[in-house]
Structure 1
Amino acid sequence: MKKYLLPFTFLCCTGLTAMAQEAMPGEELEDVIVLSDKLQIPFKKQNRNIQVLTAEQIAQIPAKSVNDLLAYIAGVDVRQKGPNGSQADIGIDGGTFDQTLVLINGFKASDPQTGHNMMNIPIPIDAIERIEVIKGAAARIYGVNALMGAINIVTKKDRGNTFSARLYSGSSFRNDDTTGNLYGNFGAQVVGQMSTGNWQHLVGASWDQGNGYRYNTAYKNTRVLYTGKGQLSKKVGLELLGGVANSDFGANAFYAAPGDKNATEQVNASYLAFRAPVQISNVWTLRPSLNYRNGYDHYVYIKQRPEVSQNKHRTHTIDASLDNTFTTGYGNIVVGLNVRSEQINSTNLKDHSRLNYGAFLEYQYQWKEKLDVNLGAYVNQNTDYGFNVYPGIDVGYQINNNLRAFANAGYGQRLPTFTDLYYKGPGNQGNEFLNPEYMIGYEAGLKYRKNEFYANASFFLKNGRDFIDWVRADSTSPWMAQNFTSLNNKGVHFDAGYGKTFGAVLLNIYGGYTYLNPEIGSITDASKQDWMSQYAVNALEHQAILRLNATILKQFNIGINNRYQQRLNAGNPLNGYSRKSYVLTDIRIGYQVKRFQVDADVNNLFDIKYIESGVVPLPGRWYTLSLIYKLK
């Protein structure tokens, strides 16, 4: 374990970001344009429940991956199976991991093989400007698979010439029973930005490696990212994105416990994308875009005997769009086309491909700065599932300078993944006759903002049919993919923030709460009424988040981050690990001296034993020390 302790010594001798002084809640969001919106509507004018986590807030959360950050956004259900971003399933407002669309700077990044891999993205935490979580059906904007919402990760830009470097090391100070070594991890991040004339460039890289926290949970994660933005001419711009994400980890109990105790998995993804806004005239902007994703997944059931069972999957996804925005005296209009190709070559799933052809129209009208209406529809033709239309509408009314009412409704569809359709294994069986899932959602709420305080409250109802679930007759049978039931979800959401300076102390408080009441409708096949379900009603019934942060004299910072989760139908504790309800506390203490900063983190402060997914116990108390250097 000496190799895991060496970085602690090194940290004392070398050097990441200057202490972020968090702005007052909501201040930095007033004029932010939500990149996940084709109409380019400012955040303060949005008529949807959109949660945003800013770079300043991110700096106060002791997160080691994007997955950890999402866990502190109310309504987002993060079910991790491994440490520090190895693998996680992300759901929104009771949805499953396959019902959420992931984007990077507005480019689609989801994996058609399986939603298990959707967070394998090439983004170091220090390269993130903000995370946007759009709740409710977003098919009107993005087409298929944005059934329960979308997550858009926006990278930093327009910050001049900057450089930051982070070195860190951590441990639980517990020993591996097999080897006697101390469990621990170490890693590094570097992010640089450069402005040259009309161009801004960002290059980021991160590397994280550890020997795990229990048997066969060692991992190694590597991320490399480039983004660029500039002007080719006065009227033609260009946005670029490229990146690589590699993860190699022990997959003990991930998919087929207890038989997969010695399983391993390697997941790689490469991304290339561009967008070229063209100002055709004062009223017409053309935005062509193209993005490509290459994915590779290699799963070995028994690492000591790979010949027993192993799967290799290679996916290719190409997504091309042509958006046209027209600004007129009668409102703003966006009309466009989209083509998406998904292909897989697999030793298990075999070779398959499908195409989506989409056309969309959105219209925005505003009346006297009080009432605004956004409505539209997405028309989709899929080579496997035919023709569908996804309409949607949202309405907002500014009651006064501080209070805004909003309501929205939308319809969406989720296509079965290639794993849902074609997987064949001893513990899981796909079903090539699956139909897509469908959902119609409604939401209404209020947004209040005054000076240092803001609050949002909403009620939502989501009615789904042909829900794709993995079910089985008894505990000895394999899980089988089925359009098992209809599923209705209703709930409430509330969040609020307050920030104020008291002398030399800047205090920020954020609280969020989500309540879900899902109801299973009629079972599609009455003969399977008593079958076991893996995903139907396993969402978070109660989720509460409380983040407290204080910055003293612009040098000393302390962040206390708490979350409470209570899950439906989670079962009794497993070997002392809670699956139903628990409270987790993570803290970060930081101190800045000129360009250097030291962060001391403790995750799972009270050493809670808990499980988020399946039968996979997650790490107990974990200590991390980071040294940060920033140059601007």
Structure 2
Amino acid sequence: DMEWVAGVELIDAVPGVGAYAGAVNIRTAPLAERYLRLEATGGAHGYAYGNLSGAVSGRGLTLFGAASYRRSDGYTHNTGFDNANAFVRLNYDSPRAGFFDFQAGWQRRAFGSNGFYSLQYPDQFEQTQTALGSLRWVRGWGPVRLNAAVSYRWNSDRYELIRGEPGRVPYNYHLTDNAGAELWADYASRAGVTSLGGDYTFHHIRSTVLGEPLPRPVGRYDHAKSRHIGNFWLRHGKRWRRFDVSGSVGASTTPYGTSVLWSLAGGYRPVGGLRLEIGAAQSMRLPTFTDLYYTAANYIGNPDLKPERAVTYRFAADYSRGRWNVSARLYYRDGHNLIDWVKPSPEADWESCQITSLDTYGAEGRAVYATEGFLRRLVFSYGYLTQSKHSEGISKYALDYMRHKAAVSAEVRFLRRFSFVLTGSVYDRAGSYADREGVMRDYRPYFLLDGRLAWEKGCCRLYVDVTNLTDTEYFDFGGLRMPGTWISGGVVLTLGRR
């Protein structure tokens, strides 16, 4: 649940298979050492949300637990959803045994997917369940630090082309298991910090459509597939007063053979508060089981797909002084064998295929002004993306991207206990789509305005949210009309926070 997220960071130059364009690290953390928090929200379209979370700490141990439920009737036909989440995180820090970090989570999602996979079928339905767990251990001995982790993720997916009629029309059931282990050591010396390590991941799926046919069905599943992935790497980094450098080299073993991957980066701080960075990294991503094997109504998979590969070059600048925090990013990605689902014409089927090469150019900028008084926070952001190749048909993913996005957000405080946040965003998506009548249409730019009014005193906070204040009609994916104005309101009670 997003209410439990303490921060999100984007990581470049991640060694190993999978991080084609980097990685997203989602961090969870309690609000305080000891507290209990309750949130309840209701709104338009039968929307309801409840969230209970809390934490206790003492003697090197911290326990954080949370559970939530969210549902809606949907803003149009067959767009309702019913979601539940549970999460627990236990940290224990022992001077002798080391630091232990245990996490476990469960999620159930059921939702109407009106036209999501095909506009010709407005009554599609999907239900998923996910359980995951991980344990991490860190122990230091002088200049040496040893890190180890194990993880497991189980997922169940049920899809119906026509809701409530799984026996009469095509339906899909998938059951996936992903297990992993990681071990690495860091050594700090006057020459810098050197890391040596490796990881292993096992992917397995049982399905009614994905994978290779089984000699005998296992329950409802008559297809299955598995693969093993190993990564080994060596990293080194060194920091001086104004400069820092880092680099890595590694080997990845997959069913497609062994690949060597590398990264290199350097930073420079010419004046206080300013840091410049330049870097390059090689990456790859394996085809998913869906890309390889999914063949059903209007979809044709391709078991001969190869891994995607890329080299990304980037430049970054970050400046912080007083009330301002400014950052800028420029990057160029030289991609090969990119996987996409494409159809040559509106009447054709979707086919899983590969784009031989694809050059991607991007720029991002962000400026944050924070102060006290009436105006508390002002945020400007802009992102631009362009690619060297355009689809000759209809692209579902790789060539259908957000070309421009600009946003301005302002937060003000008034009458002692009131706050108001207003965010305006402009979107311009590249590409085109076929509507329900099969007519090709280009994506049109659109503007969204969202706001939140809140009142807070002591342990209580009341708020009202309005999304799409201007009731803009827009399409964010393949001709699916997105919600208009949506109003909700809620209360948050936080006890024992300090």
TM interval, short-chain normalised: over 0.9
Matched, 1:431 2:302: yes
Q: Mind listing any 5+ residue stretches in structure 2 that lack a counterpart?
A: 211-222
Name the residue aligned to 2:451: 587
The within-5 A match list for 1:200-239 is 200-239=62-101
* TM-score, normalised with respect to structure 1: 0.74
Counterpart contact for 1:485–1:520, Cα < 8 Å: no
Matched, 1:288 2:148: yes
1:233-632 maps to which residues of 2 (within 5 A)?
A: 233-258=95-120, 260-279=121-140, 281-307=141-167, 308-349=169-210, 350-367=223-240, 369-382=241-254, 384-502=255-373, 505=374, 507-520=376-389, 530-552=392-414, 555-570=417-432, 579-632=443-496
Alignment-mate amino acid for residue 54 of structure 2: G
1:205 Cα deviation (Å)?
A: 0.8
Corresponding residue for residue 215 of structure 2: none
The 1-side partners of 2:94 and 2:270 are apart by 43
Partner amino acid, structure 2, of 1:610: Y
Q: Residues 71-108 of structure 1: CA distance to partner in whole angstroms, max 9, x if unpaired?
A: xxxxxxxxxxxxxxxxxxxxxxxxxxxxxxxxxxxxxx
In structure 1, the partner of 2:218 is none
Q: Secondary structure at the match of 2:166?
A: coil
For 1:511, give the aligned amino acid: F
Tell me the alpha carbon deviations over residues 586-610 of structure 1, each in whole angstroms, 9 at most, x when there is no partner. Answer: 1001001221110011011111111
Q: CA 1:574–1:532 in 2, change beyond 3 Å: closer, same or farther? A: closer
Q: Post-superposition shift, 1:531?
A: 4.3
Structure 1 unpaired stretches of 5+: 1-123, 172-182, 522-528
Give the drift of 1:275.
0.1
Counterpart AA for 1:332: V
Matches of 2:436 and 2:138 in 1, distance apart? 54
Does the Cα contact within 8 Å between 1:572 and 1:580 map onto a contact in 2? no
Larger fraction in helix = 1
Cα distance per residue 1:49-92 (max 9 Å; x no partner): xxxxxxxxxxxxxxxxxxxxxxxxxxxxxxxxxxxxxxxxxxxx
Query: What is the CA–CA distance in structure 2 between the aligned matches of 1:297 and 1:245, rounded to whole Å?
Result: 12
The answer for the alignment partner of 1:105 in structure 2 is: none
SS in 2 for 1:419: helix
What SS does structure 1 have at the residue aligned with 2:115? Answer: coil
Asked if structure 1 preserves the Cα contact closer than 8 Å seen for 2:14 and 2:23, the reply is no
Residue 420 of structure 2 aligns to a residue whose secondary structure is strand
Deviation by residue 1:222-265 (Cα, 9 ceiling, x = unmatched): 0100011112453411001000011001111010221x211110
Aligned-partner Cα distance in 1 for 2:162–2:434: 29
Superposed CA offset, 1:93-124 (max 9, x none): xxxxxxxxxxxxxxxxxxxxxxxxxxxxxxx2
Paired residue type of 1:267: T
Contact 2:394–2:433 (Cα < 8 Å) also in 1: no
Deviations 1:298-354 (A, max 9, x none): 001112421111100000001110021111111011111100000000011120000
State the percentage of identical aligned residues.
25
Contact 2:68 2:86 survives alignment (8 Å): yes
Structure 1 runs of 4+ with >4 Å offset? 571-575
2:40 alignment counterpart: 167
Residue 196 of structure 1 deviates from its aligned partner by 2.5
For 1:163 and 1:551, locate their aligned partners in 2 and report how far apart those are by CA, in whole Å.
26
Q: Which has the higher strand share?
A: 2
Given that residues 262 and 303 in structure 1 are in contact (C-alpha distance below 8 angstroms), is that contact kept between their aligned partners in structure 2? yes
Distance in 1, matches of 2:176 and 2:79, equals 26
Displacement of 1:553 in angstroms is 6.2
In the superposition, the TM-score normalised over structure 2's length comes to 0.93
Please provide the CA RMSD for this pair. 1.9
* 2:9 counterpart of 1:132: yes
User: Hey, what's the Cα distance between the residues in 1 that align with 2:377 and 2:488?
Assistant: 23
Contact map agreement 1:315 1:342 (CA 8 A) in 2: yes
Assess if the C-alpha contact under 8 Å between 1:158 and 1:200 holds in 2: no
Partner SS, residue 225 of structure 1: strand
Kept in 1: contact 2:93–2:100 (CA 8 A): yes
The CA distance in 2 between the partners of 1:472 and 1:593, in whole Å, is 56
Write the deviation string for residues 486-520 of structure 1: whole angstroms up to 9, x where unpaired. 11011221111111123xx3511111111112111
Secondary structure of the corresponding residue to residue 591 of structure 1: strand
Change (3 A) 1:460 1:574: farther
Deviations 1:155-202 (A, max 9, x none): 11472101110000010xxxxxxxxxxx22111011101103110011
Measured in 1, the distance between the counterparts of 2:31 and 2:66 equals: 15
